[in-house]
């Protein structure tokens, strides 16, 4: 089963950590579960995949099954989810689906992203408690993903990130 790479509009950015001294922040790339469902629909057809949730030892697991016509059976992969800070249970089920789709290969290229550091002159850091926080939003403006023809592995080979408030390019790696 071969799934296409994610596009710029399917990749989200969130602040990973803000430095305590206020000199910048790190960004993490992620996908949401709607992108996973869209890619499953477009690749195998909406009638040829399904997901189910189970609680095992108090943990919520999602199983995504895809119909294999040549074998005449459902092929399944499973993973668990972690609660989110907002809407814990909803976040947990969404996280389980996203993780399971990574097992199928959807969005696995996000794990090849470089470390993304945004210096404080390209974002607005606000004092909070003993440190800083940031309310700016960032987006992937351009991404380049290459696929190994032999293995099918996808790798990010270039990326450009923009601060949505200012429109300024805040991170560019290998001139995507």
pLDDT (tens digit, 0 to 9) for every residue of the chain, 176 residues total?
A: 899 999 999 999 999 999 999 999 999 999 999 999 999 999 999 999 999 999 999 999 999 999 999 999 999 999 999 877 777 778 889 999 999 999 999 999 999 999 999 999 999 999 999 999 999 999 999 999 999 989 889 999 999 999 999 999 999 999 65
Contacts of 69 (CB under 8 A, 6+ apart): none
Q: How far apart are CA 173 and CA 158, in angstroms?
A: 5
Q: Could you state, in order of their start, the residue ranges of all structural domains in the chain?
A: 1-31+108-176, 32-106
pLDDT of residue 176: 52
Q: How far apart are CA 168 and CA 176, in angstroms?
A: 15
CATH of segment(s) 32-106: 3.30.160
Contacts of 17 (CB under 8 A, 6+ apart): 25, 26
Question: With contact defined as beta carbons under 8 Å apart, do 96 and 60 qualify?
Answer: yes
């Amino acid at each position: 089963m071969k799934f296409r790479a994610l596009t710029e509009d399917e990749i989200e950015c969130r602040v990973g950590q803000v430095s305590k001294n206020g000199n910048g922040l790190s960004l993490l790339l992620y996908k949401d579960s709607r992108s996973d469902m869209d890619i499953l629909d477009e690749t195998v057809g909406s009638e040829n995949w399904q997901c189910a949730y189970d609680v095992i030892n108090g943990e919520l697991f999602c199983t995504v099954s895809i119909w294999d016509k040549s074998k005449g059976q459902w092929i399944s992969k499973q993973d668990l989810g972690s609660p989110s800070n907002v809407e814990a249970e909803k976040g947990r089920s969404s996280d389980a689906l996203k993780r399971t789709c990574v097992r199928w290969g959807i969005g696995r290229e996000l794990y090849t992203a470089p470390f993304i550091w945004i210096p404080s002159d390209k974002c607005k850091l606000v004092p909070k408690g003993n440190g800083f926080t940031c309310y700016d939003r960032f987006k992937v403006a351009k991404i380049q993903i290459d696929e190994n023809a032999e293995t099918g592995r996808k790798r990010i080979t270039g990326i450009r990130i923009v601060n949505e408030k200012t429109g300024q390019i805040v991170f560019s790696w290998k001139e995507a």
